[in-house]
Amino acid sequence: MKPEDLGTIPRSRRKTARANSVGKVSALAGAKEVFETIDLGIIHLDIDARVLYMNSPAASLLRKPREDTQGMVFWELLPETLVGIFSETFRAAREKKQPVTIETRFPAPMGFRCHCRCLPTSRGCTLVLEDVTDRRRMEEELWEIEERYRFHFSYSNDVIYSYDNQFRILSVSTNVERILGYRPEELIGKCFPDLDLLEPEDLKRASKDALTILSGSTIQAATYRFIARDGTRLYGETSGIPLMRDGHVAGVISVARDITYRKQAEEAIRESEEKYRLVVENANEAILVAQNGIMLFVNPKLSEILGCPEEELIGKSFAQFIHPDDREMVLDRHVRRVKGETPPSIYPFRVVDKGGNARWVEINAVKITWQGGPAALNFLTDINERVQAEQDRKKFEEQLAQTQKIEALGSFAGGIAHDLNNFIYPVIINTELLLEEAAPGSAAREILQQTLSAACRQRDLVRQILFFSRRSGPKQSPIQVAPLLEETLNFLRSSIPATVEIRKYIDVPSDTIKGDAAQIQQIIMNLGKNAADSLPRNRGLIEMRLEGVYLDGMNGHPDLKAGRYLRLSVKDDGCGMSREVMGHIFEPFFTTKEVGKGSGMGLPAVLGILKNHGGAITVQSEEGKGSLFSVYLPVADIEQSTGTSSGAAG
């Protein structure tokens, strides 16, 4: 029967057919609820291609009211351009008595790409319609991504692949042929459950994990047993993330790593401890078997890391060697793993050795059966040096960035200061000349005095800027810092409230440096006044400590060479600072004080003076817990010094 014949059936026959169709629909009532809950369009046609049943998704795709389609010839619901391909599909499925699949695009205004599967039945055919517009667009985008990374994955043991929310493979990297023996085109478009790529038990677990990812979560590392084309069993460690589209999960992107060799090693250890004892004892990784939290087997490397003989470790709880901050996390994952759950198996944490020293290790844990009971086989890699190097690198980068910023600000501020000097000194000189001529007690003399005072304050501020920018070098000579500190503290004592207590501690075998005594006094005064200003209600304690230290490449300051230094520490129990504020305190004109109570040049001037003297400064502070400033000055070689000065020279 041709489509045009089906569309020209007399109206009386159409009514009879509609009545018959209603009877047929009643037989499908039990399946309607199921059909209404799926995302596929379902249409039952009789042998004349009349609609017996159409679910809501199908009616939505065709943009037809479902109640108007009952008993209609299906071709009447289609655009004219598609009648031929659908009628031919219907006829082929009926004649061949097997499913026929087509894919075509519906023209505007429908404008979607349709995947249709025509299934012959005893009563006609069932059409299964699916809107694959988004899927095809996603496949194109994934193809671009795959091409971008094709070279990398072609030469690695990592296979990248993607699949949609129907578990249909959308893309797979070309190295899958080298690892599993399948060409990508043999896998793309097919569903995982139909490919027999996984062991049946692992397929169930993989399906569960896939549903987890499709719900919006991620899988970090799941291990499955893959089946190659030649029947070889391979272990793959798989991770996956959701593929998002328009805020919804449209599929999954996964990476599977061939870990067969690693798994074979683990299996070999489980099968025969004696056979591989030599390998275990000489391994560069620490290996231990823990059951019920007790160490039952350890290798020499673990003994080396923890600083305990092997015989002292056997029978002890591993928990006592885990850092307190990491203990709960590690034990929780151990218990879950032994119970058969799959917590993360590879992660870093800290152990504490017999001497109380913390070290970073990375664990790779596997559930095993040991002496008839569940246990965990753990491989520990010492990553302490790697973690420490990373921390040192970050610290150095932060300090380098701060140093470069301060250098740039110093150059800028120094240029401004020199220009200001050219204006200020003529004002001071001319004002002093006019004062000599002004009559005592006159209004003019008072104005000139105020002008001279303001100009001198600006001159002092310029001097501090020059100290910061290192464009004004000190007159360096040998100085004894201890008596200079005593003298400066007397000045400081008279300039701060009596309710502030000052304590000093001096313990130096040699306190001679080369520098400018006046500038060293300025450092002490600036730090002391800042400490006093930080005390709430002008009450509290300031501690100044002078001591000798030796700095080397490990515990030194990045701006200082290894050698002997004087360390002047100024500690207060004031309001402290946040990390954000500490990042700006050495910048010119930055201040947290009220307007008129600080120029913002005290600490920048201190920094500039110290750089001129080959020294440095560090700060430690927390809000509400006070601050500690530590000044480092290189100790002078006394044998080369011709004399010393302990006063405020110059």
Render pLDDT for 421-465 as a digit per residue (tens, 0 to 9).
Answer: 667 777 778 888 888 888 888 888 888 888 887 777 777 666 666
pLDDT at 182: 93
Question: Is the pLDDT reported for residue 170 higher than 80?
Answer: yes
Contact in structure between 322 and 352 (CB atoms under 8 Å): yes
Cα gap 429→452, rounded to integer Å: 9
Residue 614, pLDDT score: 87
pLDDT tens, position by position, 297-328: 888 889 888 989 888 889 888 889 999 999 99
C-alpha–C-alpha distance, residues 352 and 306, integer Å: 7
Measured between alpha carbons, how far is 589 from 608 in angstroms, rounded to an integer? 14
Q: How confident is the model at residue 647 (pLDDT cuts 50, 70, 90)?
A: very low
> Taking residues 139-161, what's their average pLDDT?
70
Q: So what's the pLDDT on residue 188?
A: 92
Strand positions, DSSP E, 11-123 = 41-46, 51-54, 100-105, 113-121
pLDDT per residue over 47-84, tens digit each?
999 999 999 999 999 998 988 899 999 999 999 999 99
Mean predicted lDDT score pLDDT of the chain: 81
Bigger pLDDT: 383 vs 143: 383
Taking residues 336-361, report their average pLDDT: 89
The closest of 168, 132, 159, 145 to 252, measured between CA atoms, is: 168
Q: Is the pLDDT of residue 630 over 90?
A: yes
Looking at residue 545, what is its pLDDT?
A: 94
pLDDT at residue 2, as a whole number: 46
Paired with 566 in beta bridges are: 548, 633
Percent of the chain with pLDDT over 90: 26
Query: In angstroms, rounded to a whole number, what is the distance separating the alpha carbons of residues 506 and 260?
Result: 66
pLDDT at site 475: 65
% of the chain with per-residue pLDDT over 70: 81
C-alpha distance from residue 561 to each of 390, 587, 612 (Å) = 22, 24, 14
pLDDT at res. 33: 74
Between CA 505 and CA 359 the distance in angstroms is 35
pLDDT value for 275: 63
- For the segment 503-536, what is each residue's pLDDT rounded down to a tens digit? 999 988 888 898 888 788 888 988 998 888 888 8
Residues comprising the chain, all counted: 650
Residues 89-135: tens digit of each pLDDT: 999 999 999 999 999 999 988 889 999 999 999 889 999 999 998 88
- Pick the residue with more confidence: 596 or 133? 133
Q: Tens of pLDDT along 263-305? A: 887 777 667 656 666 777 778 888 889 988 899 988 888 988 8
Note the pLDDT of residue 491: 79
Residues 222-250 have a mean pLDDT of 89
Q: What is the pLDDT of residue 403?
A: 59
Question: Does residue 35 have a pLDDT over 90?
Answer: no
**Is residue 431 a contact partner of residue 456, using CB atoms and an 8 Å limit?**
no
pLDDT digits (tens, 9 = 90+) for 204-226: 999 999 999 888 888 888 899 99
